[in-house]
Amino acid sequence: MADQQVFVEHGFDGDVHVLRIANPPVNTLRTEVRAGLLAGLQRATREGARAIVLIGTGRGFSAGAEMTEFGKPRKPPSLNEVFEAIEQSKVPVVAAIQGNALGGGLELALACHARVAGKGAVLGLPEVKRGFVPGAGGTQRLPRLIGMEALRLIVSGDPVGPEEAQRLGFVDAVLSGELEHAAMAWARAHSGDRFVLARNRTDRIKDYNAAAFDEAAKKLTARSRGQESPKGCVAAVRAAFTLPFEEGLNVEREQFTTLVQGEQSQALRHIFFGEREAQRVPDLPADAESLPVHKLVVIGGGTMGGGIAMSAANFGLPVTIVETTEEALQKGLARCEANWQRTVKSGRLSEADYAKRRALLSGTTDFEKAVGEADLVIEAVFENMAVKKEVFARLDKAARPGIVLASNTSTLSIDEIASATKRPELVIGMHFFSPANVMRLLENVRGAKTSAAAIATATEVGKRIGKLPVLVGNCDGFVGNRMTGKRGPQLEKLLLEGCLPQDIDRVMEGYGMAMGPLATGDLAGLDIGAAVRKARGTVAPIADAVVAAGRLGQKTSKGWYDYDAERRRSPSKEVEAIILDVAEKMQVRRRKIEDQEILERLLLPMVNEGARILEEGVAYRPIDIDVIFANGFGWPAFRGGPMFWADRMGLRTVRDKLAHYAATTGDANMQPAALIETLAASGGSFATMKGAAKG
């Protein structure tokens, strides 16, 4: 029943009514809520209200439309019907925004006669990040309230706080104290005011300048890398400046309908819901509790250790860096300070907030004392098993009983690391991604003896410091690094057979990757990959020859590419000569390789290895793999991840292409995995898998 979703309460003297959205946890605007709003408006008017306050229950106003209703027949009333009822109301409706007012939630507020907000409110139209445009008038009402600034907010999808919203002009007042009562008092005081609805405002759009709009749009979409929704947002917002309101709504609806049905939006929603799902560990007992963590200790103040420490301090968790020498410690602390100061200079961090974060970060060379006081220890030392085991043996002796010991290893066995301790049940991998203070992904790695308490603790701390924790199993490279490692042989073969580095990176960046694999190698340092190959006894003739020529990447201003003083890359004649020389010596006849073949030969090995990872139970679900790649490996979220990409291709086609490339390139890694064979034979997909593949 509608009345179970929206409750109507009288104000102080019955003259100000309250409509409260009660659809926990985030007050999405599902069918029952929309119907309840209409009923509530009618009741308030019927009972003689002088003003109506619209507010959400709990910590938020509304997170917007119920995305699970997308693609299904929509039951009346629509959001636009609700908005029309609000706009036609002879009684002013005031939106009182606490917590999140996002997407359709903000659009609801924009349709009201006025908007007030509490401290800490978050307002935004993030639809572009889900692959579509605001579809309930947001692209038309917001520009009429704030002018050109609306283009930035809608195309970026980034939210703003209440003070910024008031400055821009779409919040009328920021109120202190308990919001509901403050909003009721404000509504009563202003009930006789003449409000101009957003749809009827023209003062902020009348001076439209097409050239200025186009220039702003060009800058905002410059980094969209093939994503369609930013362009759709531009088209819809342009309509607000150039067309009457109703015609602008039609443009918005056309853009929304086209985009929401498209593959990119499906991919982005796949990742959005997947990020929630990935944090649910199927076999973790419901009563598993995390251990209390009030102080974190990070062993190692290098790039990774410092980044981990910054992440903790950024979110209010006291952290101590432990280093072996005072010189190394001061260098590590200075690196953290420099990173924060860059953020301050950019305007994204205030001096006051910097001071708070810096105060939470300390350092010491007294290993035993610091570890003895820690509630959680994360080791971030050199990626060498002997070194890791030595550190963990020492940690085991210094840490209090019951304290979780975590390793930031990116490839090494958690079980072997844990064997150096007498508490293997409390040892877990916490694999952060570089730069750790920026990257959101956290691969938590479960060892054979890792306890539910250790998993719960790593998960909780990860969330607490702003990360997206995904639990994976223990194997060489875990999920992400193991899968990307399997494209290495194809990279080498593509270079031998006809490609140049710029051909490969152009295709991958055209697909939407932030950087192609060879440019990424230059950024990381080609000597790192060479060391891994040497340790594993593998050979890559071209890559090894590039390193032998002293081309180690950006740090030497030459790697797969040449780099200028600003680290801008350009194709290298020397690298081209190396490739041609190696190909000639190996008697490989070079040919032109089409873009589609390049793409398939680099993505299919990762999909194939992902299937093996699922077979082994290293990843619980295909969505876990997609979430890992979208958040830690530069995979464009609007492509949905490797397993989503494979499903869109169709697993029968994937199987056949893998078999073809295995035969033509001699790469055994391309032989279709058993899981792909099984799913292809049954007409199934990764998305339709039930539970883990291991069984």
Active-site residue, selected from the candidate residues 32, 81, 107, 252 = 107
- Residue 471 pairs with which residues in a beta bridge? 444
Residue with tokens 């139970």: 617
Q: What are 385's two structure tokens?
A: 């098993």
Contact 78, 45 (CB under 8 A): no
CA–CA gap between residue 541 and residue 491 (Å, rounded): 11
Question: Measured between alpha carbons, how far is 436 from 694 in angstroms, rounded to an integer?
Answer: 32
Query: Known catalytic residue: 379?
Result: no
Helix 488-497 / helix 651-665 crossing angle, nearest 10 deg: 60
Q: Decide the pairing of beta strands 93-97 and 114-118.
A: parallel
DSSP string, 490-538: HHHHHHHHT--HHHHHHHHHHHT-SS-HHHHHHHH-HHHHHHHHHHHT-
CB 58 within 8 A of CB 103: no
Contact 339, 291 (CB under 8 A): no
Taking CA atoms, 474 is separated from 102, 411, 428, 479, in Å, by 38, 9, 10, 9
- What's the Cα-to-Cα distance from 44 to each of 173, 188, 254, 403, 552, rounded to whole Å? 23, 14, 34, 57, 71
Report the alpha-carbon distance of residue 116 to residue 183 in Å, rounded. Answer: 7
**Rounded-to-integer distance, Cα 602 and Cα 446, Å:** 28
Q: Mutual orientation of helices 326-345 and 303-314 as an angle, nearest 10°?
A: 50
Strands 441-446 and 468-473: parallel
Question: How far, in Å, are 220, 283, 303, 358, 581 from residue 331 at the CA level?
Answer: 37, 43, 10, 15, 43
Select which of 66, 127, 497, 600 is catalytic. Answer: 127
Does residue 127 carry a catalytic annotation?
A: yes
Residue type, 506: R
The answer to whether residues 406 and 377 touch, using CB atoms and an 8 Å cutoff, is yes
The residues that are catalytic are: 107, 127
